[in-house]
Amino acid sequence: MVYKIKRLFFISLLFAVSVAISEKKLVEIKFNDITDVQKLVDLNIDLDHHRTFNSVHAFVSNGEFDIISKLNFEIEYIPNQARIYYEELKENTQNSRNPMEDYHNYVELTDFLEDIATNYPDITHLKSIGQSVQGRELWVMEISDNPGTNEIEPEFKYVANMHGDETVGRELSLYLIEWLVSGYGNNQRATDLINNTDIFIMPTMNPDGFENGSRYNANGVDLNRDFPDQFSDPNNTTMGRQPETRAVMEWSWDQHFVLSANMHTGALVANYPFDGPNSGVYSASPDDDLFVHISLAYADAHPDMASGGFSNGITNGAQWYAVSGGMQDWNYVWESDCDITLEQNEVKFPNSNQLPGLWEDHREPMLVYLEEVHDGVRGVITDIDSGEPLNANISIQGIDHDIFPDPENGDYYRLLTPGTYTISASVFGYLTESATVTVPITGYVEQNFTLSLDPWLAEAEIEDFEEGIFSDLGWGFDGSANWATDNTVVFEGNYSVKSGNINENEESSMSIELDVIEDGQISFYKKVSCESTGSVTGNYYDYLAFFIDGVEIDKWAGEIDWSLESFPVNAGIHTFKWLFIKDGGVTSGSDAAWVDYIVLPPISTNEECGSGDINGDEINNVLDVVLLVNCILGSECETCQADINQDETVNVLDVVLLVNSILN
């Protein structure tokens, strides 16, 4: 077994030096057992979604072809029909004014979108969210009754053509745009969609791939394997990703998409999360019932999808074939966006004369799916006193997947299947509010939340560094560089604290010793930017760690945005330490960590009780005696100062002692 592992590792190293930088070719790989596919996955072979129990299609380089052959797989090249049709189309139309027949090349697509934006300026906004490897604009068309304005309404997106040679969705996007804008004011359905939804359509995520007749972008990368992945790449960062992927991620961060789909070809099925792990079995997300529901909404509206070889025309991604780095899982896991993959035609690059018929087949499914964004429960979350929006966690009892509101307006949209649910809104520092709602068969139920500040937090000891310095609670520092306050990266207010500026094989720590007077917890917000190694395996290199009494409680690596951590603490004297450490290897991100808004457990502040200064004016006099007598007679007073002899009872003896102290 050790020999096999070493052999696979050696072969993986060979890939790094033997794979030629050229267009990968389509092959069929045959095997004796379905478990053999894992060997191909371990070698990062680009598997296609055509799969049986004894064969799979893949895209391989010449070097990969040779290595797979040496592993005793039966492998052979097969015609890539999409590429063949592309070459014929280019050859037949090279001197034509219609270079791609009914397909739109990049220039024609740009002209089409610009014409729409010019002719419908009140309901459209055309924007480039970035550029491809070869400098082509990544166009997005927004369609709304107030384009460019963040209204209190759900945001929806369609993304097409992320595989350059899967072309149907590219053209269906243009058909859909034209149907919507031309129907506004004339067609009630189109008018309602535009008035009540912020619709975004990206006809091509991979314009270079389309122009080159290739699945890949111009760097030879499969864009649907380039996103963060919860199983193999759990770092929600754009670092090291392709420009097209970075653009889509940053665009998604700027918006607040609720529902979306990405459009492909090569099969006829609606595919839903999870896409991994590579187990070959059904991998259900927490919202599996919802994903089945919205996938069926699309498939049931299509005239032939149920006959595409999949039960009811839908499939779970991992059960069909696993994908690492796919866009649909990224949207759901990190972005609170329910996303599915639509395989819209079994032929990847069909003859252009089939496009009108494909639009007729997919028009109703695309509209029905878009309308699903209006089902479930929605509302606005605000502060009860100020009325300002709050960035809350929206949770559903029994479904382990929270969503978040739009931070600008506080509006949220929780997609749910019909039924009765308990929904809660929680914000750190506020009292959680819950409600029971019944989601109708179609449409939504509205549930607003107005949250009140948690009175306990108002009395808690909080270290938020808002004076630009560490408090006088007794902070200590160790390592090669001290932690310091930082006003450039903060969770709340104007300051956080940042780990020291350290080099390789150095560390920076801050610590505090506290007398905890009763059981409680310590909470804080942390942010990390460093090498991600270890975030999956546990074998960390660079990381932030938190210790209680010298025992490591948890640690974190990679690109982690502000997130809350809470740990229980028993009464007693404890030392709390935050340590950022860097090994001798990779430099990644900012190589730093930040901490902010530390809520300490109940602690002794060493306040001097029994002083007799009842009114807190720092002078003991006859007024304090009067207040003490009133306290004994039943008036409200500060027991700490009134209990002169510290016997936990305020009585006449305390009056005697206070009078004596004044006379003396």
Other Cβ atoms within 10 Å of 428 Cβ, number = 17
Closest C-alpha among 481, 532, 530 to residue 509:
481
Quickly state the pLDDT bin for 191 (edges 50, 70, 90).
Answer: very high
> Average pLDDT for residues 179-196, to the nearest whole number?
98
Report d(CA 461, CA 602) in Å as an integer: 7
The predicted structure's pLDDT at residue 11 = 39
Of the residues 153, 155, 343, 463, only one is catalytic, namely: 343
Backbone angle region of 589, left / alpha / beta, with phi > 0 → left and psi within -120 to 50 → alpha: left
Report d(CA 650, CA 151) in Å as an integer: 60
3-class DSSP state for residue 100?
coil
Q: Name 547's bridge partners.
A: 552, 577
Most confident of 436-440, 511-515, 534-538: 436-440
The predicted structure's pLDDT at residue 654 = 80
The predicted structure's pLDDT at residue 36 = 80
The predicted structure's pLDDT at residue 100 = 65
- Distances in whole angstroms, Cα of residue 433 to Cα of each of 119, 385, 436: 47, 15, 11
Cα dihedral 527, 532, 538, 541 in deg (nearest 10): -100
Which residues fall within 8 angstroms of residue 344, CB to CB, at 6 or more apart?
Answer: 168, 169, 172, 263, 264, 265, 268, 358, 362
Report d(CA 513, CA 294) in Å as an integer: 53
Instruction: Give the pLDDT confidence of 586-598 residue by residue, as tens digits.
Output: 777 889 999 999 9
- Identify the residue whose tokens are 């750190």: 428
Quickly state the pLDDT bin for 480 (edges 50, 70, 90).
Answer: very high
Quickly state the pLDDT bin for 7 (edges 50, 70, 90).
Answer: very low
Quickly state the pLDDT bin for 390 (edges 50, 70, 90).
Answer: very high
Quickly state the pLDDT bin for 84 (edges 50, 70, 90).
Answer: confident
* Host H or E run for residue 406: none
More confident residue, 619 or 111: 111
Backbone angles phi, psi at 105, to 5 degrees: -75, -175
The predicted structure's pLDDT at residue 146 = 97
Between CA 80 and CA 158, with CA 261 as vertex, the angle to 5 degrees is 95
Closest C-alpha among 590, 592, 429 to residue 507:
592
Pairing of β 155-160 and β 462-463: unpaired
Is residue 265 a contact partner of residue 169, using CB atoms and an 8 Å limit? yes
Quickly state the pLDDT bin for 20 (edges 50, 70, 90).
Answer: very low
> Average pLDDT for residues 460-468, to the nearest whole number?
89
Which residues fall within 8 angstroms of residue 479, CB to CB, at 6 or more apart?
Answer: 500, 502, 506, 507, 508, 509, 579
More confident residue, 651 or 483: 483
Mark whether 343 is an active-site residue. Answer: yes
* Alpha-helix residue ranges (DSSP H) falling in 102-198: 106-119, 168-183, 188-196
Backbone angles phi, psi at 587, to 5 degrees: -100, 130
Structure token digits, residue 520: 């409680």
Listed range (153-162, 183-192, 319-328) with the worst mean pLDDT: 319-328
The predicted structure's pLDDT at residue 5 = 37
User: What percent of the chain has pLDDT above 90?
Assistant: 65
Instruction: Give the pLDDT confidence of 541-586 residue by residue, as tens digits.
Output: 899 999 999 999 999 988 888 888 889 999 999 999 999 999 887 7
Instruction: Give the pLDDT confidence of 253-293 residue by residue, as tens digits.
Output: 999 999 999 999 999 999 999 999 887 789 999 999 999 99
3-class DSSP state for residue 71?
coil
* Sheet hosting strand 543-548, strand order edge to edge: 475-479, 506-516, 572-582, 543-548, 551-556
Report d(CA 664, CA 662) in Å as an integer: 5
Residue 655 CA to chain centroid, in angstroms? 63
Closest C-alpha among 425, 469, 657, 476 to residue 579:
476
> Average pLDDT for residues 362-370, to the nearest whole number?
98
Is residue 349 a contact partner of residue 79, using CB atoms and an 8 Å limit? no
3-class DSSP state for residue 628?
helix
Report d(CA 498, CA 482) in Å as an integer: 9
Closest C-alpha among 401, 365, 156 to residue 284:
401
The model's pTM is 0.78
Report d(CA 325, CA 228) in Å as an integer: 5
The predicted structure's pLDDT at residue 21 = 43
Cis upstream peptide for 228 (omega within 30°): no
Report d(CA 253, CA 26) in Å as an integer: 35
Instruction: Give the pLDDT confidence of 260-270 residue by residue, as tens digits.
Output: 999 999 999 99
Quickly state the pLDDT bin for 16 (edges 50, 70, 90).
Answer: very low
DSSP conformational letter for 601 = P
Quote the mean pLDDT of the chain: 89
> Average pLDDT for residues 220-247, to the nearest whole number?
93
Pairing of β 419-426 and β 137-143: unpaired
Report d(CA 47, CA 275) in Å as an integer: 13
Report d(CA 371, CA 366) in Å as an integer: 9
Report d(CA 298, CA 344) in Å as an integer: 11
- Distances in whole angstroms, Cα of residue 437 to Cα of each of 379, 443, 530: 12, 13, 42
Amino acid residing at 103: Y
The predicted structure's pLDDT at residue 408 = 94
- Distances in whole angstroms, Cα of residue 104 to Cα of each of 60, 158, 172, 451: 28, 18, 11, 51
Instruction: Give the pLDDT confidence of 145-169 residue by residue, as tens digits.
Output: 999 999 999 999 999 999 999 999 9
Backbone angles phi, psi at 232, to 5 degrees: -120, -15
The predicted structure's pLDDT at residue 94 = 66
The predicted structure's pLDDT at residue 47 = 86
Listed range (30-39, 298-307, 338-347) with the worst mean pLDDT: 30-39
